[in-house]
Structure 1
Amino acid sequence: MTYPGGDYDIIVIGAGHAGSEAALASARMGLKTLLLTINLDSVAMMPCNPSIGGTGKGHLVREIDALGGEMGKNIDATMIQCKMLNTAKGPAVHSLRAQADKKAYQFRMKEVIENQVNLLLKQQEATEIIVEDGKITGVMVNTGAVYNCQAAIICSGTYLKGRIIIGNVQYDGGPNGLFPAMYLSDSLEKNGIALQRFKTGTPARVDAKTLDYSKMIIQEGTNPETHNIINANITRSPLYTGEVVGIGPRYCPSIETKVMRFHDKERHQIFMEPEGLNTNEIYVQGMSSCLPEDVQIALYRTVPGMEKVEFMRSAYAIEYDCIHPTRLKASLESKEVAGLFFAGQINGTSGYEEAGAQGLIAGINASLYLRGEQPVIIDRSEGYIGVLIDDIITKGIDEPYRMMTS
């Protein structure tokens, strides 16, 4: 049973990094905006690495800031530490990277969104887009509410028919134990929007109390014993049994992929990164995996200083639906449905910064669309955001896209 939920100029589906920037942009441009999220506690969540910026990505954050976005301000207010990368090279490739306090980052962004004029945040799952005469007219949610709109921006991240994979343990789920969005994909396909399947993964989060930092050699990483465990159990990895059909990111491979692909390497670097100032959770960068949990524990314990490590969250892979971005205009509006925009990982990209940049542009252009004005299109020669958008809409992608300076 449905009921009328109200009228809005723009509805943004998903409140991750893309959705947050999109909703803030449209609201700040004076449009009545509704921001829907599957869980209010997941606003601006960092489901993977606890950092903002880095090579290429730091450039995007600066461009977001120059265009009035929030990501740079938010990380400045909540970061643990900041470092300039690539200082041995020319200034064109100098990139800031900030270590984030994940919860502080989320809470501040949520506060900014909640206090933004023209913007309403709701915890509801979008289940269907309503299209009439080839144009978006509304969004239906899981509670039966139907919200009318003149434009919508889909920023669904990795939630669309999300599937968690930990060896032979596989189930429908979103990142970090959240629910997946199991219905919106069908509505998109019904309206002529073709989908593809991608994959990404994340390392385990381990308990800092169980680490012996005195045994860790700076930037030493894995060792032959780690590799032996992976080789002996590779047939238990869904990546190598054909169970995982989604295509993963080239620049963020799992530890088993690194070991199998680079046989000549005796070591792979790993880093211990704190998830925040008020938690014992440590993000083990470089050890992403979807091997069974018992194998994960065994291989993690081969690393010096991790002999007695205890997991707080297991490493996992997640498969999800995304669109073919060649079906987007340069404004990030769909070629199939007028007034429907897409931003973030649903466009086949990876990374918080790439998502935030697209969200900002989609929010601006959805607002200009309603005003009857020309969209903002950044040329490849004008900014990294221009390179990012031009790449995905003209070249297409067959793996998650990451921004590079080269």
Structure 2
Amino acid sequence: MAERKTLLIPSLLDDWFPLLQYAFTSEEWEPVLLTEDDPHLAELGLKYFHNELCYPVFLVAGQVLSALRSGRYDPARCGVLFGQAGDECRGSCGIRLLRRVLDRLGYGRVETLSLNVRGIDRGTGLPITAAMVRRCLAAAVWGDTLALLRNQTRPYEAVPGTAEALWRRWTEDLGQDLAGNRGLTRREILRRCREMAAEFRAVERVPREVQKVAIVGEIYTKYCHLGNWNLERYLAAEHCEIGVGGITWYALYYMDGHALKGSAPARRVYRLLASYLAEIQRDMLSILNQAGYHALPLLPELKRQAEGYAPLRVTVADGWLIAAEAVGWARLGYRKILCVQPFACLPGHIFGKGQYAALQRKLPGARLVSVDYDASTGEGTVLSRIRMLLDEELDPELL
């Protein structure tokens, strides 16, 4: 058997990629998560890409180029996985632009593989197999469970670092299950969720006054520390309990909207996958609730709650999901909400940021603060807006 090639995976989903990476392993590819965290990654990407593209594209390109320049990877036996949402996302053309840059810099033998379910760039698409989907589903559910458990345990832990250490240990253990294709039935996935919930529930706690802060917005800046400048770490250091929607909600939102598009067979596949994932998510939420934790409601209920807050037919970019998550977290007591976007994301500014003023008027008991991230934005500008939210006293009568 030929030696497997290295599949480089740029940062995107911090709490999920350590598990999701195993979905992309195959006889041909060995996945490697890129961890380059240099503050000049965006500058490196800007050097080779037009500055009218969005911030995430610069970061992804900078991370890939930094990894290849390090000499750790053989360009002749190396590939880059590039996610593409499709629709009106300008970042979806990033893989073609990256191909041109790699060729120009002498990395012509580095393969570029597209990860999408829309048939974009078919010649470079990473084949999606049943085994990949199976591992993805398990990794998504486990990643959601771990992220919610850690975020709601960390502010109250008696010994600092306990929740983070537990998260890392479980990530390693579950990664081994995924790598070995073990325990991926629905029953086994949920059994592991119960075990995780029991261990986090047993962490020693002390009573503390904390602020509950939710993060909503565009997928990259919401989930990736590069895109949001380590926002979760900053909020945790400020003794905040952080609310971030899990990736299963995003996946179900995507399938909900895209089941309205495409061919009849494609729509049927979306609906079947969505039905299966929704059933597992329902059981996952039941396990979390029984252990004393909480999360956003199931997507149908979350969507129902968004009626009157967002046009539910708008599925461009993160569409109505932003408004739905803001409403959902506010109802769970997370009255301070950071709405994060990358600068130059046109769909995000129109269909995401365009909702914030109306949302604020309709949620008088909450406070929404919009934060744009970009290579040209100063750290002080971003931190001042976050501090403005953290330091504000909200009217308790509007709860």
Instruction: Give the shorter-chain TM-score range.
Output: under 0.3
- Identify the structure with the greater strand proportion: 1
Greater helix proportion: 2
> What TM-score do the two structures reach when normalised by structure 1?
0.26
Query: TM-score, normalised on structure 2?
Result: 0.26
